[in-house]
Chain A
Amino acid sequence: MVGRMIEAENLTVRFGNLEAVKSVSFQVEEGTCFGLVGESGSGKSTLLRALAGLNPDWSGRLRIAGDNLAPHRSKAFFRRVQMVFQDPYGSLHPRQTIDRILSEPLIVHKFGDIDARIRRGLDEVSLPASVRFRYPHQLSGGQRQRVAIARALIAEPEVLLLDEPTSALDVSVQAEILNLLGDLRVARGLTYLMVGHNLAVVTHLCQRIAVMQQGVIVETLSANDLRSGNVTHPHTAGLRQLSLELTEAC
């Protein structure tokens, strides 16, 4: 049974007096990956944070699996929706061991078998058991991002919000993380909402893509249309042309 997992209707998000996202609407089908691309300041990250409940100053309608969301989210929401941040150096608590970081969601949501779940969680993101009691500064950037993914998945959510999850990583590590995210989506039937500025990265993971410019979605299209150049809005065409020039140079 495939339904709509994420729905946004006339969503407007404010930053003080500034409307960072202006009346945006989109739907994400269950088990698919939806990409939001745009330049910095286009409002794509703001939209994601509002959806995650990190910015309560929004209006319009947001639904997860048909349930309307209120500005302040319930605990049940956070079991369902999790997020992976852009910077793996800033998203892990510097004074907590990996074990502590991973057990936190389990304690909050009152899971029983914490020990076994942490071991399984590390295994799932291909991290050796030896990292469990290390501190984040003892890990590489790629390992940290794996920990962040493990933390997001440990309470078994249905939706994963990805905020440029690979843009701070080396290209070879980026490939590993993208493969991991792709595998996990299939294995767990997860729904992804991914924000990014690199078209090749976003189209690699997503089936549908929305292009944002100055707080507005200017075009929503399938990954295949974007690849083949079947685009209507000049901004999309411009981003695509640039990506072809700069990332396919060799």
Chain B
Amino acid sequence: MTVKVRNLRVTFPLPQGAVEAVKGVSLDLGREKVGIVGESGSGKSLTARSILKLLPKQARMTADELTFDGIDVLKAGETAMRRIRGHRAGLIMQDPKYSLNPVMSAGGQIAEAWRAHRGGSRKEAMEAAIDLLAQVQIRDPMRVANSYPHELSGGMGQRVMIAMMLAPGPELLIADEPTSALDATVQAEIMRLIEDLVSRRGMGLVLISHDLPLVSHFCDRVLVMYAGRIVEELRASEFGKAQHPYTRGLLECLPSLTHPTDRLKGMRRDPSWLAG
């Protein structure tokens, strides 16, 4: 499985004129863990969602090339995209509260995702669902399978969401701020779980986050986005050697537990960064 993106642009037509949110992004993904880091409005989410053609209705997307394992996403119709989405690539979003169906039990939702892609009887699907819940390290999968989303904590909900995305056995997992609504402890557990599942199943992972330390901790390669462009690409182990002033700014403005300072460094934004 490879994803190839060349010169991707996403624009929003507004009454005041079109606004370009992604300005010519190129990237390649394989079965690896890639992080996309940036502030809100940097276009990181739109870039990742373009791969699945899951953009807001009014967005216009163009690219010189955009392929998912050789399939031309730009030309693919809804049917072709549905075969990719969920089936070959899963998307985990920030808040499980809004992504889970509130009137269906957790197990039922996972079972449904499983059946939609693999067929089989209701009973088989439910057994698979419970097995998946066990795989996402839920201690009492039977009980959780019978619970409804509002009965689950944030971390538990996110585990259910992950189990649901794993059901069809995807090759790529896109995680869009999967833990930013969660506590540090739960955040770490969920990230370790995702990391573990990705390496055990040999999936590709795209982790989108504003949290640079988190991304560098769990990914092999990190793309730093600023105002719709990738300004720097780094191996996660090489953050000390970051070249771009924006990347360095992102690191320096973080308060540190071990190296206290009286004042945090502010980000001085250079207009030349916008030129790309």
Contacts and interface: CB of A to CB of B under 8 A. Distances in A.
Given A39-B183, A179-B263, A242 B240 contact: no
A243 B255 CA distance: 11
A175 B266 contact: yes
A233 interface: no
Interface stretch (B60-68, B129-137, B212-220): B212-220
Interface stretch (B85-93, B162-170, B184-192): B184-192
Given A141-B40, A244-B258, A246-B217, A172 B250 contact: yes
Most A CB contacts (10 A, CB to CB) among B212, B254, B265 go to B254
A247 to B, nearest CB: 5
Interface stretch (A93-101, A109-117, A151-159, A198-206): A198-206
B239 interface: yes
A65 interface: no
Interface string B127-156: 000000000000000000000000000100
Interface in A197-250: 197-201, 203-204, 223, 226-227, 238-240, 242-250
A243 B239 contact: no
The size bracket of the interface on B is 20 to 34
Given A175-B254, A250-B251, 6 more contacts: A171-B211, A171-B212, A172-B267, A204-B260, A204-B264, A242-B188
The size bracket of the interface on A is 35 or more
Contacts of B265: 175
B30 interface: no
A184 interface: no
Q: Which 7 A-B pairs have the closest CB atoms?
A: A175-B253, A204-B255, A250-B239, A172-B267, A175-B264, A170-B39, A249-B217
A248 B213 contact: yes
Contacts of B263: 179, 182
A178 interface: yes
Contacts of A172: 39, 249-250, 253, 266-267
A40 interface: yes
B250 A242 contact: no
B253 A174 contact: yes
A39 B188 CA distance: 13
B255 A200 contact: yes
Given A39-B185, A170-B39, A175-B265, A246 B260 contact: no
Nearest to A178: B264
Interface in A139-163: 141
14 contacts: A39-B184, A171-B210, A171-B211, A172-B39, A173-B39, A176-B266, A204-B255, A204-B260, A204-B264, A223-B260, A244-B258, A247-B213, A248-B258, A250-B212
